[in-house]
Amino acid sequence: MKNVISAVCIKCGAEVAPTPDITVCPHCGGLLDIKYDYKYIASKVTAKDISERRDYSMWRYREFLPVEENTPNTPLRVGWSPFYEVPKLAEVLGIKQLWIKDDGINPTGSLKDRASAMAVAKAMEAKADTIACSSTGNAASSLAGNAAAAGLKTYIFVPSRAPKGKVAQLMIFGANVISVEGSYEETFRLSAEAIDRWGWYNRNAAINPYLVEGKKTVSLEIAEQLGFRMPDYVAVSVGDGCTIAGVWKGFKDLYQAGIIDRLPRLISVQAAGCCPLNTELQTGKPWQPMEENTIADSIAVGVPRNPDKALNAVRESNGIAVNVTDEEILGAMRLLGRTCGLFGEPAGVTGAAGIKKARQTGLIPADATVVGIISGNGLKDVNNAIKAAGEPISIAPDMKLLLEAFDKKGFNLK
Ligand SMILES: *Cc1c(COP(=O)(O)O)cnc(C)c1O
Ligand SMILES: [Zn+2]
């Protein structure tokens, strides 16, 4: 990899050779961060080169990705998700300009596909035939799908609370699924022990430093889809913290390669019922484990796995932290559906809920330009969607009953 220099420990600064199967720092156990040669990257690619490419997937940014030149693109089409300017929603929220990046349209329905495609590419480089992870649900289903497409076996650990839609995906993709009667934290620990024992390729959040590099492609796309002109703010829903760390890495990469000339500020959005990282950002006191008390299962992470990269990202960007209640999350599901035709799962719309809250509380000004990311598809968790939107009119097939029902609803039909 001519574009990669090393993997640097974010705790002790040790530099490690970037082999495909590295996990944490061999000296202190700290998380690793992939370090690039931006001079080399800038000599190889310009904004114009990128714009002319016809590979409409995350692999269009190969110069920025930690893969060998001869590593093939992974089979599923991950990335290049739609990017919508949403003036109606901007008006409702009282924001000058707003865009939504819909990462729920990825092949398995979440932004996690970006990390899982990267994990599959690196597992192939490592000549592994089995990959494992623990996950609140989306990392699992995305790994299962991307691995199935590439012909790799998977062992996947999920907490038993994972929504049916996500578990159904796992079963369809042929994963070996272990549903753990415990919290995400307990699930994670069991998976780590099993991975150690059987030597599977490790796709656990944060532990594998390449995952963030896959996730950062969402920012490379946002920048490109904006013509490489940066917005003031980008809002991200936060659980383990890998996504927001990846979002920041992507923007910084482009900045360091001279492709963009300013950086946006991050809005870190967590559920009020599980917000350890935002609590540190808001109070300055070191984060403490919290209960996983929210309907937004994908970000119900009481013990975040990537706290340092996530906190650094928000602080470096001069970002802000916003917590939203489950009610506000359900409200954002309705609002996105009704003003934009977009359908996100609870954690998927938490970023958007945070934009609304940040505007209401004056944390961001009315003349701001803002990007929100929908990180997961609403069909993954239909129970909460029904909770957000209610039940339909339900009647026997009879015109009289239809008229009565319309009357009751107050529909004013001629
Ligand atoms: C995983 C996930 C997140 C948060 O990502 P982290 O890396 O855990 O912070 C947000 N939304 C959805 C839909 C997710 O699946
Ligand atoms: Zn270290």
Distance 237 CA to ligand 1 centre (A): 6
The pLDDT value given to residue 20:
97
**pLDDT, tens digit, 9 for 90 and up, residues 144-182:** 999 999 999 999 999 998 888 889 999 999 999 999 999
The pLDDT value given to residue 163:
87
Per the CB < 8 A criterion, the answer to whether 31 and 308 are in contact is yes
**pLDDT, tens digit, 9 for 90 and up, residues 327-342:** 999 999 999 999 999 9
Q: What is the mean pLDDT of the chain?
A: 96
Edge-to-edge strands of the sheet including 15-16?
Answer: 15-16, 4-9, 32-36
Q: Does the pLDDT value for residue 205 go beyond 90?
A: no
Task: Give nearest CA residue, ligand 1 atom 7.
Answer: 242
Under the banding of pLDDT at 50, 70 and 90, the label for residue 18 is: very high
* Ligand 1 site, residue 237, Cβ cutoff 6 A: yes
Instruction: Please name which of 219, 31, 3, 211 lies closest in space to residue 118, comparing C-alpha atoms.
Output: 211
* Ligand 1 site, residue 110, Cβ cutoff 6 A: yes
Mean pLDDT value across residues 242-267? 98
369-374 vs 233-237, strand pairing mode: parallel
> Burial, 411: exposed, middle or buried (Cβ in 10 Å; 0-12, 13-18, 19+)?
exposed
Please report the atom of ligand 1 found closest to the CA of residue 380. 13
Strands, E, within 62-120: which ranges? 83-85, 97-102
Instruction: Please name which of 263, 271, 227, 217 lies closest in space to residue 63, comparing C-alpha atoms.
Output: 217
Cα 81 to Cα 13, 221, 230, 334, distances in angstroms: 35, 8, 18, 21
One-character DSSP codes across 187-211:
HHHHHHHHHHHHT-EE--TTTSTHH
> Which residues, at least 6 apart from 13, have a Cβ–Cβ distance to it below 8 Å?
none
The pLDDT value given to residue 184:
86
How far apart (Å, rounded) are the C-alpha atoms in residues 380 and 172?
14
* Ligand 1 site, residue 376, Cβ cutoff 6 A: yes
* Ligand 1 site, residue 378, Cβ cutoff 6 A: no
One-character DSSP codes across 357-405:
HHHHTTSS-TT-EEEEEE-BBGGGGHHHHHHHH-PPP---S-HHHHHHH
Q: Does the pLDDT value for residue 136 go beyond 90?
A: no
How far apart (Å, rounded) are the C-alpha atoms in residues 312 and 330?
29
* Ligand 1 site, residue 241, Cβ cutoff 6 A: yes
How far apart (Å, rounded) are the C-alpha atoms in residues 387 and 148?
33
Task: Give nearest CA residue, ligand 1 atom 14.
Answer: 298
Distance 238 CA to ligand 1 centre (A): 6
The pLDDT value given to residue 161:
87
Ligand number, closest to the Cα atom of 206: 1
The pLDDT value given to residue 46:
96
Residue 381 has φ and ψ, to the nearest 5°, of: -145, 75
Percent of the chain with pLDDT over 90: 96
Q: Does the pLDDT value for residue 357 go beyond 90?
A: yes
Distance 347 CA to ligand 1 centre (A): 7
* Ligand 1 site, residue 217, Cβ cutoff 6 A: no
* Ligand 1 site, residue 281, Cβ cutoff 6 A: no
Please, which residues have CB less than 5 A from ligand 2, an ion? 9, 11-12, 14, 25, 27-28, 30
One-letter amino acid at 388 equals A
Helices 242-256 and 217-225: angle between axes, nearest 10 degrees: 50
Per the CB < 8 A criterion, the answer to whether 123 and 154 are in contact is no
Sole residue written with tokens 């937004």: 296
Q: Which helix (H) or strand (E) holds 269?
A: strand 265-271
Distance 394 CA to ligand 1 centre (A): 35
Instruction: Please name which of 196, 252, 265 lies closest in space to residue 23, comparing C-alpha atoms.
Output: 196
Distance 15 CA to ligand 2 centre (A): 8
The pLDDT value given to residue 413:
86
The pLDDT value given to residue 412:
83
Segment among 154-158, 181-185, 373-377 with least mean pLDDT: 181-185
How far apart (Å, rounded) are the C-alpha atoms in residues 292 and 298?
10
Please report the atom of ligand 1 found closest to the CA of residue 376. 13
Distance 301 CA to ligand 1 centre (A): 9
How far apart (Å, rounded) are the C-alpha atoms in residues 357 and 334?
15
Per the CB < 8 A criterion, the answer to whether 218 and 253 are in contact is no
Task: Give nearest CA residue, ligand 1 atom 2.
Answer: 298
Per the CB < 8 A criterion, the answer to whether 234 and 373 are in contact is yes
Instruction: Please name which of 238, 239, 246, 198 lies closest in space to residue 222, comparing C-alpha atoms.
Output: 246
* Ligand 1 site, residue 238, Cβ cutoff 6 A: yes
Please report the atom of ligand 1 found closest to the CA of residue 236. 10
**pLDDT, tens digit, 9 for 90 and up, residues 24-63:** 999 999 999 999 999 999 999 999 999 999 999 999 999 9
Distance 24 CA to ligand 2 centre (A): 8
**pLDDT, tens digit, 9 for 90 and up, residues 54-84:** 999 999 999 999 999 999 999 999 999 999 9
**pLDDT, tens digit, 9 for 90 and up, residues 272-322:** 999 999 999 999 999 999 999 999 999 999 999 999 999 999 999 999 999
Ligand number, closest to the Cα atom of 16: 2
